[in-house]
Structure 1
Amino acid sequence: MVVLPWSQLVVAVVAACPAFVLSSPLLGVTKSCAHSVKEQVYHPHGWTIDGAAPPDHILKLQIYLPQPNFHELEQALYQVSDPDHENYGLHLSKDDVESLVAPSSDSLTLVDEWLVSHGLDASSLSRSPSKDWVSIHVPVQKAEEMLRTKYHVWKHIASGSTLIRTTSYSLPTALHRHVDVIQPTTSFARAGPFSTIFRLETEEFEAPPPNAPAIVANGGLKVDAACNTSITITCLQQLYNAVGVKPSAKNGNEIGITGYLGQFASTSDLQLFFANQTPAAVGSSFKFVSVNGGLNNQSSPGVEANLDTQFAFGLSHPAPATFWSTAGSPPFIPDVGTPTDTNEPYTEWLNFILAQKSIPQTISTSYGDDEQTVPLSFAQRVCNGFAQLGARGVSVIFSSGDGGVGDGDANPATQECFTNDGRNATRFAPAFPASCPFVTSVGATFHVPEVSVSFSGGGFSNVFPRPSYQDAAVGTFLRTLPKGKFAGLFNPAGRGIPDVSAQGVNFRIFFNGRQGGVSGTSAASPAFAGIISLVNDARLSKRLPPLGFLNPLIYKLPFAFNDITAGNNPGCGTEGFNATKGWDPISGLGTPDFRKLAEILAL
């Protein structure tokens, strides 16, 4: 492993400003100023330096300014999401949210002065509507000058993918409190889909004999025996008590799926899927939206995109559906000087969607990465963005990960689960953004009756503390955990994941005109989102507001979920956590019962 000496990582912790002058009286400097390290990280295990970054490669730097009133937005989010609060369902408008996340005038002035001092035209730069971030395009050489750092090309040893990153950067000391974080700098996240490889079926899916008796699901419902072979829309409707539901296409309910990393959703495969599983939807499709130059390459569909759109939109039909294609896909390509492969793509989508006036009420994302590869400051800002969506009445749903309690490697024998703090200690590795307390994370089950599947990501955040809505459920689980079990391997005070579960094994999809099976929590997330969209449909049809941020609500309705009490999620050399009665860090509260939810929430 190649590690740079500290003298190369931090260039001048305290140094004079360059020839330019930051003369604002607010900054308290005249002809010189001290610089100090703003952020420093250890590079994640499994990465090595592969050379200096090309000086002319263009970086798209996102500079996030502090949100001094975010605590007020968070308070409002919990009020509109708590069914016991008088403000439940009174979601905030786009303007309301933007006013609560706007930076101070001092921060705006000082950051602009700093940018101007480096030769940038502050008036022409891209900003969020609330001005809580500003985006600049600069070559590596300029970024190194501005941040007093050195960028390198880093290679991920296992996959060979590469990123341009640094492990430390500096700012004028007096500017620190006016900048939350700048990226891409220290984040080594490799956001990817949480699903196994598509398995093409050379023959028709094996069906049980015609006289095979129905099997009984966890909630006592009868389910076709074929659902133990492969999962279809019908299976999910039977399992989650949504048979015969007839949603509206005209009450304003909408659903959306995010797509990243060159994953394109095939409209022709969608029609084959509809013809096979949802005949009433044949002829309908989704609205395609490009984010940051995202393409719509119908000749190169992605398994993940097909899985997500087919099941989420098949379950929620006829709700209008949207698929966002967001550009940005590492690895770095030295001879292409574009900025689209430098940022984590879900931040590009988040910045885009927050600027929209109208947003679908249910959004599912089946991507993520190990939490510890995302610096704390950046994780908090991304998570705060999801809080803004929740405050506006959007249910933000994420897969919980496919590494059990481990680091994303599907083979427990090879999981290393090393910490990134220089100790290389073994520790469970939860996924992000699933660990953000402002999203609903979904684990995976299989079989009927349902059992938690071994790859289902679960555990406790090492970044985010346990939110109050989890105190009772998670506290009960921790009290049942044998004393000393997994001591030092997880953070018992952290946010627990997942929140809920859904089927996640052998989903029957169409890909390039052929049927095949896909497994992963990336299947569970759109399945759960489809059920939530049906609940939103029932509410909107009765002129009730959408559910919005789900977690404060669902933790008060455990009886509306099918409790999963079998299964475990091994990793990091352990058997992982067991599914037990009540909430647990593999199945969460369990799988949804649509009619119970609708009877309570759409009276």
Structure 2
Amino acid sequence: MWPISLVALLPLAASALAFPSPGNCEHKVKEELGAPPRGWAIHSPAPADHFIQLRIALPQPNFRVLEEHLYAVSDPEHERYGQHLSKEEVEELVAPHSESVDAVNEWLASHGIQEDIGRSPAGDWLTIRIPLSKAEEMLNTKYHVWQHTDGDYLVRTTSYSLPAAVYDHVELIQPTTLFGRFKPQKSSIKSISKVQSAQNSPAIGDMATGATVDASCNTTVTITCLRQIYNAVGYTPSAHVGNSIGITGYLEEYANRADLQQFYVDQVPAAAAVNSTFKFISVNGGIDPQNLSLAGGEANLDTQFAFGLSFPVPSTFYSTAGEPPFIPDEGTPTDTNEPYAQWLEFVLSHPSPPLVISTSYADGEQTVPESYARRACAGFAQLGARGVTLTSSSGDGGVGDGDPDPATQECITNDGTNRTQFLVGFPASCPFITAVGGTELFPETAVAFSGGGFSQLFPRPSYQDAAVKGFLDTLPNGTYAGLFNPNGRAFPDVSAQSVNFRVFVGGEAFLIGGTSASAPAFAGFVALLNDARLKAGKPSLGFLNPLLYSKAASGFNDITTGNNPGCGTQGFNATKGWDAVTGLGTPDFGKLVKLVV
């Protein structure tokens, strides 16, 4: 392992940590929304005895050093490529200054909070569970029950403050101003009255790639189809080289083992023969019900295709509790609707997380406070530095607001200015995630709902400068001026098939589509690439993007037809090279495995 030389840390100016009585503390506004996000309105006062779990982020003063290490171990041209950091090394790099720890401890103690404080392994996150009345006192704010136009409820505030003595020692506190609506990126689900076999159908070819595919793949996508389309027929991974793959599950979406077995019988007979299944891990009280009536379409889609493609690679399904959540007339005792943050903290504490993990859930970027988005993105960087690849759906609204129907998209900013703007999703907009867009049919074309565009929060990372500038140069001057940020992190990075995946749910077959299909499928192929590297005595791929935009770019099928309409426009066009519809294109496993091993 390459030794870490931490930069010399300049001590913070000493500050008095003796807090006056809570009622006499002078507060400064830490975060404030100019207006509530669109669609949200105050429903009622929040009950004072309602309990809330506050997560307090302490600054990570040495994060830039971690980022430097991340790019060094992820750049295939760097001498340290693949020399991932250990869990302990990463934690050392994100640990807060002792002055911050002392200041926050003193502040909590001044409010009588000295026990039952949850602390992350690095000490950069603290968790406390307190009644709202105490939270309002500590943060000099007022919480309300907010209701969205579609019926969701949240307990939130539009601003909060901190005492001057602790102000610079806290990066953010949530849930406060986070009005995100974490949802699966699933555009469609169709019932199948009779499951048809995908085998022995006439073949069709693609002159550009030379691939030959069963014609049935244009109506029903199976494991066989994906292996044919992406040139992985005949590749056999191992169960014994230290490889692993994981899927995240949220919002009471449960993966069903009986459905998985039925899927394996139908599409992966070798897995069915040994009764293969996944390891279950509960996060924050997540449960594992196996009643077929509770089988989740999203969870089954993700697990069946990611694990089916990568079998027999050891697989894990994470069930994270936290259904959005607050129902005023039921008196929910705790507001637990930040499951993604709960999962991220848990997996960072895990000594050996899966080497590739796929997520098919997202928020609108503009609904996530900048401080929260940046801190979560920093968490993804920590996993990347440890050798974990993260894939995420790019979204199902084209350039729009997440609604796959362009006719019903509003595409209006929620900052109070009510401007029309292309709206992107998070976490796909984080530069440390590999965002996966969607294609359909064979030969492949971009699917209309493929989420793509440019972040308003994160600047464009250097690894994609050349590719994205090349795309922007193809746009006529003035194209969509003011509707997107040409200097923002651009996505998707890559794409894969995303329509008519044959999935078993509750004992029946369905066709499910969305970038929630393409992300786990792409993750399955990453697991195969990791298998090849591990067999060759090399480390896992880890954070993929610097590799994708350089050495591995030639291992993708360039998609040059289709577009992603939204916001009353035709969106962007798929074109030669990287584009904001399909990214670099879809994987050619046969080429990629030669490039990465």
Q: TM-score, normalised on structure 1? A: 0.93
Task: Confirm or deny: 8 A CA contact 1:39 1:168 kept in the other structure.
Answer: yes
1:130 and 2:140 matched: no
Q: Equivalent residues in 2 for 1:179-218 (5 A)?
A: 179-205=170-196, 212-216=202-206, 218=208
Shift of the 218–176 alpha-carbon distance from structure 1 to 2, 3 Å rule, reads farther
Task: Give the corresponding residue for 2:3.
Answer: none
Shift of the 217–439 alpha-carbon distance from structure 1 to 2, 3 Å rule, reads farther
Worse overlay, 210-219 or 358-367? 210-219
Q: Equivalent residues in 2 for 1:163-182 (5 A)?
A: 163-182=154-173
Distance 1:347 1:522 in 2: 19
Shift of the 163–118 alpha-carbon distance from structure 1 to 2, 3 Å rule, reads same
Task: Confirm or deny: 8 A CA contact 1:218 1:448 kept in the other structure.
Answer: no
Distance 2:160 2:134 in 1: 13
Amino acid corresponding to residue 572 of structure 1 in structure 2: C
1:73 and 2:66 matched: yes
Q: Equivalent residues in 2 for 1:316-327 (5 A)?
A: 316-327=310-321
Shift of 1:177: 1.3
2:168 counterpart SS class: helix
RMSD: 1.4
Task: Confirm or deny: 8 A CA contact 2:366 2:414 kept in the other structure.
Answer: yes
Shift of the 418–113 alpha-carbon distance from structure 1 to 2, 3 Å rule, reads same
Q: What percentage of aligned pairs have identical amino acids? A: 60
**For each residue in 1:297-327, what CA deviation from the matched residue of structure 2 results, as whole angstroms up to 9, or x when unmatched?**
1110100000000000000000000000000
Of 216, 223, 237 in structure 1, the residue corresponding to residue 213 of structure 2 is: 223
Task: Confirm or deny: 8 A CA contact 1:56 1:337 kept in the other structure.
Answer: no
Shift of 1:196: 2.6
1:415 and 2:409 matched: yes
Shift of the 156–30 alpha-carbon distance from structure 1 to 2, 3 Å rule, reads closer
Shift of the 235–53 alpha-carbon distance from structure 1 to 2, 3 Å rule, reads same
1:389 and 2:379 matched: no
Shift of the 85–268 alpha-carbon distance from structure 1 to 2, 3 Å rule, reads same
Shift of the 278–36 alpha-carbon distance from structure 1 to 2, 3 Å rule, reads same
Q: Equivalent residues in 2 for 1:83-98 (5 A)?
A: 83-98=76-91
Shift of 1:163: 0.6
Amino acid corresponding to residue 571 of structure 1 in structure 2: G
Amino acid corresponding to residue 102 of structure 1 in structure 2: A
Distance 2:338 2:476 in 1: 39
Task: Give the corresponding residue for 1:9.
Answer: none
Shift of the 29–254 alpha-carbon distance from structure 1 to 2, 3 Å rule, reads closer
1:182 counterpart SS class: strand
Task: Confirm or deny: 8 A CA contact 1:80 1:87 kept in the other structure.
Answer: yes
Flag structure 2 segments of 5+ consecutive residues without an equivalent. Answer: 1-13
Worse overlay, 411-420 or 57-66? 411-420
Flag structure 1 segments of 5+ consecutive residues without an equivalent. Answer: 1-23
Give the paired residue count: 575
Task: Give the corresponding residue for 2:285.
Answer: 293
**For each residue in 1:463-483, what CA deviation from the matched residue of structure 2 results, as whole angstroms up to 9, or x when unmatched?**
000000010000111111111
Task: Give the corresponding residue for 1:7.
Answer: none
1:264 and 2:279 matched: no
Structure 1 runs of 4+ with >4 Å offset: 27-33
Task: Give the corresponding residue for 1:512.
Answer: 506
Distance 1:406 1:368 in 2: 14
2:347 counterpart SS class: helix
1:102 and 2:59 matched: no
Of 550, 560, 563 in structure 2, the residue corresponding to residue 565 of structure 1 is: 560
Distance 2:203 2:55 in 1: 58
Task: Give the corresponding residue for 1:82.
Answer: 75
Of 227, 230, 233 in structure 2, the residue corresponding to residue 243 of structure 1 is: 233
Distance 2:265 2:449 in 1: 31
Distance 1:295 1:391 in 2: 30
**For each residue in 1:9-49, what CA deviation from the matched residue of structure 2 results, as whole angstroms up to 9, or x when unmatched?**
xxxxxxxxxxxxxxx94358767542111001132111111
Q: Equivalent residues in 2 for 1:251-400 (5 A)?
A: 251-282=241-272, 283-299=275-291, 300-334=294-328, 335-339=330-334, 341-400=335-394
Of 571, 590, 593 in structure 1, the residue corresponding to residue 585 of structure 2 is: 590
Amino acid corresponding to residue 328 of structure 1 in structure 2: G
Distance 1:203 1:429 in 2: 39
Q: Equivalent residues in 2 for 1:518-557 (5 A)?
A: 518-556=512-550, 557=552
Task: Give the corresponding residue for 2:11.
Answer: none
Distance 2:15 2:573 in 1: 59
1:178 counterpart SS class: coil
Shift of the 218–394 alpha-carbon distance from structure 1 to 2, 3 Å rule, reads farther
Distance 1:382 1:505 in 2: 30
Amino acid corresponding to residue 176 of structure 2 in structure 1: T
Shift of the 244–173 alpha-carbon distance from structure 1 to 2, 3 Å rule, reads same
Distance 1:311 1:100 in 2: 36
Task: Confirm or deny: 8 A CA contact 2:15 2:165 kept in the other structure.
Answer: no
Task: Confirm or deny: 8 A CA contact 1:217 1:223 kept in the other structure.
Answer: no
Distance 2:18 2:108 in 1: 17
Of 407, 422, 426 in structure 1, the residue corresponding to residue 420 of structure 2 is: 426
Amino acid corresponding to residue 322 of structure 1 in structure 2: T
Q: TM-score, normalised on structure 2? A: 0.94
Distance 2:201 2:520 in 1: 32
Shift of the 489–415 alpha-carbon distance from structure 1 to 2, 3 Å rule, reads same
1:469 and 2:463 matched: yes
Shift of 1:420: 1.6
